[in-house]
Amino acid sequence: MTDETPDDTDLAEPGGKVRLFIEDGLAAGDAVTLTEGQAHYLRHVMRAKSGEAVRLFNGRDGEWRAALALAGKRGAAAVPERQTRDQTVASDLWLCFAPVKKAPAEFIAQKATELGVSALRPIITRRTIVSRVNVERMRANAIEAAEQSDRLDVPDCHDPASLPWLLTAWPSHRALLFCDEAGAPPILDALKAAPMGPWGILIGPEGGFDAEERAAIRALPQCVPATLGSRILRADTAGLAALAIWQAALGS
Amino acid sequence: MTDETPDDTDLAEPGGKVRLFIEDGLAAGDAVTLTEGQAHYLRHVMRAKSGEAVRLFNGRDGEWRAALALAGKRGAAAVPERQTRDQTVASDLWLCFAPVKKAPAEFIAQKATELGVSALRPIITRRTIVSRVNVERMRANAIEAAEQSDRLDVPDCHDPASLPWLLTAWPSHRALLFCDEAGAPPILDALKAAPMGPWGILIGPEGGFDAEERAAIRALPQCVPATLGSRILRADTAGLAALAIWQAALGS
């Protein structure tokens, strides 16, 4: 125990520096089994010991302080003691992005999770070169980013969908921020004039959308076209910039 | 020449897809010598041939269409033919950032260049762990990002400076956007209430500034404290978010 000499690596203050996302429900006294990866991380990276405090969250039950219980050579569990934060509702904001070569989906997942997206939706467009998206790895990165950024939930990580499919199934009450390259109003003006409620941000691939795709997106009644300014941004930069600006204008 | 079958890799349309930053002055007919790296890139990556068009910029003379002249096995020059864009004045916006381990300064240089910074200033703070910054590599990344993002200049890349030195030498007419963690107004409100003119954005290291550092920053009359919201962002994410929001609010 390190209670007497708390420092930056102290697991026990103020409720454990280590935060772990778990799938199980959280209730006082109900031990949860940690995954092999979490157990390995606690033992060998954080050098944690039984009895030390960690923080747990599952996206539903808020955040809990829990006592670590290492068992055997590999096993680990944690026993929730008390709730340290109530569950809050995050922004309902999807990021729909065409995966690009130069910025792995994992990178986008990490940054977008920090910036508060509720769902990550890879989109396959005509000019999309990347054909495979490792959704599992994307989710692992989103979980890690959620653990480190004090989020109380993990964004939904979807399988890739084609653009027509995304547009066909777009919910009628969800605004679609379309970061178009040309002829659209500045993003802050577009957001100011737009309705409250759930949103999605749509970012194209390196070569942009083709003319027919752009027409189909703009034809959607929920579409809010906007420009990010006169600069030419890489696809991944554009996505993160749009998220940051959306949060500053409409987020919490 | 590929004039008859223009496609995405056509160097000749509409003034050369390849953009190169050079140090020399640009004037019609005055051949400029390209660096060894540029020559290698043109020959072996782009498979360019003599006579093909490239675009050149130097941060002073706008953008020029130039004809490539390969010589010998390694040499390359380009002869400016006509100016294709006038020089414009970019936003006067510094990014002062504490280098962090998880995001190399090169990455920050690339993204910040796309987002329109005029200067990159690495800052050493008390909690800065990274002690060396490769300024040359940072500049190489800024040049590459400028070439690819259609900028007409390259941000100044400064040697690392200590925080007290930065504050002591802070220009009296330059606003300092301090992305403080707590108790500051939302960034859009802070920017709206702030003066026009040159700006700098200051982002701390992973562990944040210490109390004395924060007090010194806030004591600067030019300091504009602001918060990026309730989310906890990594240092590099915070810097890019602040840049994107600044550009949306005050940029072009």
Please tell me the predicted confidence (pLDDT) of residue B14: 54
Largest Cα span, chain A? 66
**Closest by CA position to B153, among listed B120, B113, B115:** B113
> CA–CA distance from A26 to each of B66, B201, B205, B248 (Å)?
66, 41, 34, 41
Distance CA B222, CA B201 (A): 11
Distance CA B169, CA B162 (A): 11
Rounded to 5°, the CA angle B208-A234-B98 comes to 20
Number of inter-chain CB pairs under 8 A, A vs B: 94
A231·B244 Cβ contact <8 A: no
What is the DSSP pairing of strand A223-226 with strand B75-85? unpaired
What tens digit of pLDDT does each residue of A57-70 get? 999 999 999 999 99
pTM confidence score:
0.89
B229·A248 Cβ contact <8 A: yes
Instruction: Spell out which residues of chain B touch residue A146, defining contact as CB-CB under 8 Å.
Output: none
What tens digit of pLDDT does each residue of A69-122 get? 998 888 899 999 999 999 988 899 999 999 887 677 888 999 999 999 999 999
- A19-85 and A93-250 have identical folds: no
- Partner-chain residue, chosen from B114, B116, B187, that has the shortest CB–CB distance to A234: B114
Mutation for testing the A interface, residue in B114, B129, B192 having most A CBs under 10 Å: B114
- Indicate the fold that domain B19-85 takes in CATH: Ribosomal Protein L25; Chain P (2.40.240)
**Closest by CA position to A243, among listed A171, A162, A179, A151:** A179
Label residue A8 exposed, middle or buried (CB < 10 Å: 0-12, 13-18, 19+): exposed
B248·A233 Cβ contact <8 A: no
- Per DSSP, the three-state class of B121 is strand
Counted residue by residue, chain B has a size of 252
Please tell me the predicted confidence (pLDDT) of residue B16: 72
**What sign has the CA pseudo-torsion A188, A193, A196, A198?**
negative
Distance CA A125, CA A203 (A): 10
Distance CA B46, CA B23 (A): 22
What tens digit of pLDDT does each residue of B214-234 get? 999 999 999 999 999 888 899
Q: Are the C-beta atoms of A48 and A98 separated by less than 8 Å?
A: no
What tens digit of pLDDT does each residue of B8-45 get? 333 434 567 799 999 999 999 999 999 999 999 999 99
- Which DSSP string corresponds to A31-47? -EEPPHHHHHIIIIIS-
Q: Are the C-beta atoms of B120 and B107 separated by less than 8 Å?
A: no
Place of tokens 């190169």: B20
B244·A230 Cβ contact <8 A: no
Quick one: pLDDT band at residue B133, thresholds 50, 70, 90?
confident
Distance CA A40, CA B111 (A): 34
**Closest by CA position to A228, among listed A177, A163, A175, A167:** A177
At the second CATH level, the architecture of B93-250 is 3-Layer(aba) Sandwich (3.40)
In this model, does residue A12 exceed pLDDT 60?
no
B241·A237 Cβ contact <8 A: no
The ipTM of this complex is: 0.87
N-to-C CA span, chain B:
37
- Partner-chain residue, chosen from A233, A241, A248, that has the shortest CB–CB distance to B188: A248
Residue A110 is given by DSSP the state H
In this model, does residue B125 exceed pLDDT 90?
yes
- Partner-chain residue, chosen from B116, B186, B237, that has the shortest CB–CB distance to A248: B186
What is the DSSP pairing of strand A75-85 with strand A32-33? antiparallel
Instruction: Spell out which residues of chain A touch residue B57, defining contact as CB-CB under 8 Å.
Output: none
Q: Where are the domains of chain B?
A: 19-85, 93-250
- A 10 A CB-CB count for B62 gives 16
Distance CA B35, CA B14 (A): 24
Chain A residues bordering chain B (beta-carbon distance below 8 Å): 8, 111, 114-116, 148-151, 186-188, 207, 228-234, 237, 240-242, 244-245, 247-249, 251-252
Distance from the Cα of A11 to chain B's closest Cα (Å) equals: 16
Counted residue by residue, chain A has a size of 252
What tens digit of pLDDT does each residue of A124-182 get? 999 988 878 889 999 999 999 999 988 999 999 999 999 999 999 999 999 999 998 77
A252·B229 Cβ contact <8 A: yes
Verify cis geometry, omega within 30 degrees of 0, for the bond prior to B80.
Answer: no
Distance from the Cα of B112 to chain A's closest Cα (Å) equals: 9
What's the distance, CA A219 to chain centroid? Answer: 28
